[in-house]
Amino acid sequence: MKSGAYHRLFATLLALLFIPVILTGCGSVANQKTGLFAKADTSNVAVSVADKVSSSVVAVITRGKSEKEPSHGGMEESLGSGIVFRPDGFIITNAHVITDPDNTFVGFSDGTELKAKVIGTDTFSDIAIIKVDKKNLPVPTYGESKSVKAGQTAIAIGNPFGFENTVTEGIISATRRSIPGGAPSLTNMLQTDAAISPGNSGGALANKDGKIIGIATAFIPPQSGAVSLGFAIPVDVAKRVGNQLIDTGKATHAFLGLTPETLTSETAGKLNVPVNQGAVVKDVVADGPADKAGLKTNDVIVKMDGLPVRTADDVFGVVNGHAPEDEVEMIFFRGADQKTVTVTLGERTSG
């Protein structure tokens, strides 16, 4: 990757990781022109999905002067991917792909390239919306996160290193994943073994029916000892944030109002709880949603939304999958007593 802007943007995050994680946008490229995706034997799942989705996947390009050789007036190009979001020119991509809002372009599979206007970016969810002056764009079918299960087929389509409409096939390895060492916002992710590389960021992750189920965003590189560890933002989050950015220019995020910590066996013994997995409430925001629902310090959360809570990241993951004002059922232990409450989520005011 040659993009200096990309490295500056994510150096802080990556420096904190015990396992290096690479957000997949901005592969530096030579301009590759492969033309329209060719139709083939649609009895093959990957071929069928690519035939449905590939025309909706675009290249998101940033051009600017090279920081390595500014005296030579050199130019560099960084590349990510995007997906048509609405037919009247709106494209969804990753926020980290937009390294220079004033010099962002969209390349289509027919070779057309248009200047893009950045409508809004949301760094918390890593979602951005850009717009081009082009009508009747092919919008793919967007699915629902609740239908995504570990083990199902997953097809990634994007522009790794400028190889446009690259298709890779795998499965959903897991759901509700947290990117190792990442921020609380980098939770509730889809994990896939479909190959994801630099330049795939903002590209499509689709199911066997050609429905978009995620937006590719990161991978753990092979040099870390990883094998096919890629991550995508769930489609429900992408749709919610994308629509908000178009409608208001900003996105809202749910707020629970507590600080969780992963339960250890030592802490479980001290708190006299009959479980060895969960999230301990370390702090509760006064008058916040959790406080109003009756949660207290040292409560141990074991289930939210009907899903098991094994770590603190599971709490963040459930909350990040919701919008403000959504209701979430929580089951927790206070000592040996099990309790159930319904929390109405608030809205994050920062971060």
Residues 81, 173, 197, 201: which is the catalytic one? 201
Q: Which domain holds residue 13?
A: 4-248
Task: Mark whether 67 and 185 lie in a shared domain.
Answer: yes
Is the pLDDT at 24 greater than 60, yes or no? yes
The pLDDT assigned to 197 comes to: 87
Q: Pick the range with the lowest mean pLDDT from 131-145, 176-190, 195-209.
A: 176-190
Task: Mark whether 61 and 46 lie in a shared domain.
Answer: yes
Task: Mark whether 241 and 101 lie in a shared domain.
Answer: yes
Is the pLDDT at 28 greater than 50, yes or no? no
Is the pLDDT at 329 greater than 60, yes or no? yes
Task: Mark whether 199 and 274 lie in a shared domain.
Answer: no
The pLDDT assigned to 222 comes to: 67
The pLDDT assigned to 67 comes to: 59
The pLDDT assigned to 6 comes to: 38
**What is the three-class DSSP state of 162?**
helix
- The Cα 134–Cα 141 span in angstroms is 19
Task: Mark whether 41 and 90 lie in a shared domain.
Answer: yes
CA distances from 30 to 77, 79, 253, 263 (A): 8, 10, 38, 49
Alpha helices by DSSP H, the chain:
4-15, 45-53, 235-248, 265-271, 289-293, 312-320
Task: Mark whether 202 and 261 lie in a shared domain.
Answer: no
The pLDDT assigned to 344 comes to: 98
The pLDDT assigned to 32 comes to: 39
- The Cα 168–Cα 312 span in angstroms is 32
- The Cα 145–Cα 82 span in angstroms is 19
Q: Cα angle at 32 between 30 and 35, to 5 degrees?
A: 170
Is the pLDDT at 178 greater than 90, yes or no? no
Task: Mark whether 220 and 304 lie in a shared domain.
Answer: no
Task: Mark whether 12 and 95 lie in a shared domain.
Answer: yes
Residue type, 262: T
The pLDDT assigned to 78 comes to: 81
Q: Pick the range with the lowest mean pLDDT from 161-165, 236-240, 319-323.
A: 161-165
Residues 3, 54, 96, 197: which is the catalytic one? 96
Task: Mark whether 186 and 78 lie in a shared domain.
Answer: yes
Average pLDDT over residues 135-152: 95
Which tokens belong to 259? Answer: 């600080």
The pLDDT assigned to 75 comes to: 63
Q: Mind spelling out the 3-state secondary structure of 295-309? A: CCCCCEEEEECCEEC
Q: The domain spanning residue 336 has which CATH number? A: 2.30.42.10
Q: Pick the range with the lowest mean pLDDT from 33-47, 133-147, 209-223.
A: 33-47
What's the predicted TM-score (pTM) here?
Answer: 0.81
Task: Mark whether 231 and 298 lie in a shared domain.
Answer: no
Task: Mark whether 148 and 93 lie in a shared domain.
Answer: yes
pLDDT, averaged across the chain = 85
Residue type, 287: D
Query: Phi and psi dihedrals of 320, rounded to 5?
Result: -65, -20
The pLDDT assigned to 161 comes to: 84
The pLDDT assigned to 223 comes to: 65
Write down the residue that tokens 């329209």 correspond to.
36
220, 248, 276 — which closes off a domain?
248
How do residues 276-308 score in pLDDT, each as one tens digit?
999 999 999 999 999 999 999 999 999 999 999
The pLDDT assigned to 237 comes to: 93
- Give the percent of the chain with pLDDT over 90: 68
Q: Pick the range with the lowest mean pLDDT from 194-203, 267-276, 286-295, 339-348.
A: 194-203
User: Is position 322 annotated as part of the catalytic site?
Assistant: no
The pLDDT assigned to 244 comes to: 96
Q: The domain spanning residue 124 has which CATH number? A: 2.40.10.120
248, 272, 295 — which closes off a domain?
248
Is the pLDDT at 98 greater than 60, yes or no? yes
- The Cα 5–Cα 239 span in angstroms is 27
Looking at the chain, the number of H-run helices and the number of E-run strands are 6, 23
Could you tell me which of 128, 7, 110 has the C-alpha nearest to residue 66?
A: 7
CA distances from 106 to 58, 311, 329 (A): 7, 40, 42
Domains in the chain: how many in total?
2
The pLDDT assigned to 220 comes to: 78
User: Is position 126 annotated as part of the catalytic site?
Assistant: yes
Is the pLDDT at 33 greater than 50, yes or no? no
Task: Mark whether 68 and 198 lie in a shared domain.
Answer: yes
The pLDDT assigned to 70 comes to: 52
Residue 7 pLDDT class (50, 70, 90 cuts)? very low
Residue 89 pLDDT class (50, 70, 90 cuts)? very high
